[in-house]
Structure formats: structure tokens, C-alpha cells
Structure 1
Amino acid sequence: MSADGGAAEQAVSFRDRVASIVDHTLLKPEATRADVAALIAEARDLRVGAICVSPSMLPVSAEGLVIAAVAGFPSGKHHSLIKGAEARFAVDSGAQEIDMVIDVGAAVAGEYDAVLSDIITVREGIGASTILKVILETAALSDDAIVECCRAAERAGADYVKTSTGFHPAGGASVHAVALMAQTVGGRLGVKASGGIRTAEFAMELIDAGATRLGLSGTRAVLDGLPS
């Protein structure tokens, strides 16, 4: 194989490795079933690992893709039992992963036992075999609160901690938050960066900081911007 051919193969391989950790996401309140069908088609075209949709959009036919759904989204202010029931309904409707929002106010107030209980309720609702990602809304939290919420998520049996919903006015993912989360969980949990990731450069900064999954709505632009 020529040197040029080897470089091209390496570039494609790198792009595919990044695509494989992407949750291609559609959570807009105005989303329709036609929009979800288009999301699935694009996800297959882009060769991403997963899609993430609202539970009301389930079930969907998405062979070859992991299906994730949200619970308590986007405010996190739902009662824990409602979050658990919503998550269980999503799993029964075909979701393999759940992205739940914590009670952000409880975290801001330092009520970490309440955060822990909230996560445990959802974990118990979906069972141990379903991947659980815990959305912290890091832009609204202090560093201490981020650390304590990561610890609560680990104690509750979560699989990932996640930065953001992408809907909070305080902002989305940041390199600082991802690095802090990655340091706290120490590889025992995954770290999902989500919210405001619109360029390949920012996506790579987040991966370098410790992100092991990316939640993207503008996935094509990010993947197309990867170095060739």
C-alpha cells in the first residue's frame, strides 16, 4: 500500500473511532416522528454508535444502533418515582441506555443524599443491565458539587456521568468540567460530554480531557471537521 493510501486509511479509522462514541441526539420539544426517522437514517450514514431521543418517540426501528432515551429531562425537577417510571417505560419500549437528569437544585444546595437517592431510584427502576448516564448540569454547579455528584452517581451504580442537557442557560460542556469528572471517577465510570459541542476542535479537546462519549446534535459537522 502506498504511503498516501495508508494515511487515508488511518484518517478514516480515526474518524470512525470518534463516531463510535457519539450519541446522535434529537431532544427538541418540536421533534416529530419523521424527524426521528431522519435522525436514525443519518446516524447509520455517519456510522455513529447510538441515538438519543425522548421516551415519547419510542419504540423505533434502529437496528445496528444503540437506543438511548432521557428521563427527568431537561429540568431534573420530576419526582424520583416519576423519573424511575419514565425510565422503565423507555426500557420497556426498546431503550438500552437511559440519560437521567439529577435534581440540580439539590446539588446546588449540597443535598447530596437526595441526589444519591434520586439516582438509586432510577437505577432500581431500569435494572442493572441497562446503561445509566447521570446528567449533572455542570455549568450550574461548583467544582465541589460536581465532585460530590460524581461520587453519588458511582455509589448509586451509574455507568456514566454526563455534563449537560444542552438546555440550561448556564451553558453546556466544558473542558474543565470533563477533566474534573474524569479525575473523580478515575475510569470506573465513563464520562459523557454533551451540550454546545459544535466543532471537531472542541470535541477533540473534550476527548483529550477524558470524555469517553459525546452527545451531539450537529454530528455531521463535527465528524466532517476531523483532521484528514
Structure 2
Amino acid sequence: MTIRVVLVDDQEMIRMGFRMVLDSRLEIEIVGEASDGDAVLDVLGQHEADVVLMDVRMPRMSGIEATRLISDLPSPPKVLILTTFDLDEYAYAALRAGASGFLLKDAPLEEIASAIGHVHAGDAVVAPTTTRRLLEHFTRPEPRRGDAHAEPRRGDAHAEPRTPGFEELTPREHEVLRHVARGLSNAEIARELVLTEGTVKVHVGHVLAKLGLRDRVQAVVLAYETGLIQPGDR
């Protein structure tokens, strides 16, 4: 099965580079390009796509807003954010806008192709270490001075999740969600909990359904934002 990909980046040389390396893969076909976020919907109207590789910083419309527009389509393609990293806060915002993950622009070809395949399959798309680095940076609570009686902040040890649906999770599903938030794959969670990978997949599906989440990336963001897991938890 060929994965149809649209490239979105304001730098022509970067688009050319991605097209050159990805077109060499039998399982990937570049079906369209856009030089800015404001042109994405027009391109998608002309070409059916499975995955959009989306730059974050563009002059007319950011990848965040473009991702939000794509997510509102009736049958949207998956969005994979491109970032130069150096901890790019816009990449995190794009995940919240509906992107399914992110990767580095200078990642090896095998990693890029693998990420596209994972996104297309609806799986996690970022390496566990990268997930933790990004989320630990952007969910680290700001220190408060002279406020000894302040209520727990997001990420505090005693903060309780406040999102409707958490109470519906079984103890095992809570455990699986914590491991997902750490960036572990289904296979890694299976080894940690001494379960089969298929059983873990079922638990993950139940977690997503009960919490009304689209994919694992949203589960990771939610777990950090509600304080279910803290930056640095292992």
C-alpha cells in the first residue's frame, strides 16, 4: 500500500530534499506540496493524501493554524510536524491543535519513513526519548515565590487529574496510560507489565475511547497537563 504524502514548508530546498529522499521509498508517494500553511487546504482539495508533513514556522500561516484547519476536515489526513527542535514550543502547540506527532527535519531517512508509516497506521510516531524531552520541557511547572499555601500546579506531585473520564479507567488502564505518557510503545509496555502486546493494544484502545482522545499523542499530552504523570517520572 502506497502512503500518499503532502509536503508543507516555506523553504523550497527543504521540500526538494524531502521529495528526493522520500520518493526513493516504494511505500511513499509525494502527491503535492505547499509553500505555506494557507495553501494546504487547496492542495488537499486537489490531491488525496494520507499524511501531511507540516513545517511549524511559516510566514503567512503557521503550521499550528494549518493543522487546526486540517483537523476540522471531514476525513482529515494525519499531520506530522516538522521541527528543527531546539525545543520548539510551536511543535507542542501543534500537537494540541490535532497533529499526530512530530519529527526532526534532520532525522535519518529510515526514521522519517518509519514515522510516516506509524502515523498512517495510527500509532505513536515519536521516539520515547524525544517525547519525554519535549513534554518535560513544556510541562515543567514555573516556581512560585512566597506562596506557601498555593494549590497544586500542573505537574505537582499531589495534583489530581481533573479531566472527566479518568474515573472510568480501570486500575490496569491507569497503569497503561502512565506508560503511554512515558513514551513507551505497546511492545515496551507489554514487557513492563508482563502482558501480550495484543492485550496492551486493547487497553490503549479502551483508554482512548473512555477519554475521548484521537490517538496516543493526545493521551500523552493529557496525562502531563492533568498531572497524572510528572516530568521526569519513569
**Fold in common (TM above 0.5):** no
Higher alpha-carbon Rg: 2
* TM-score, with length taken from structure 1: 0.35
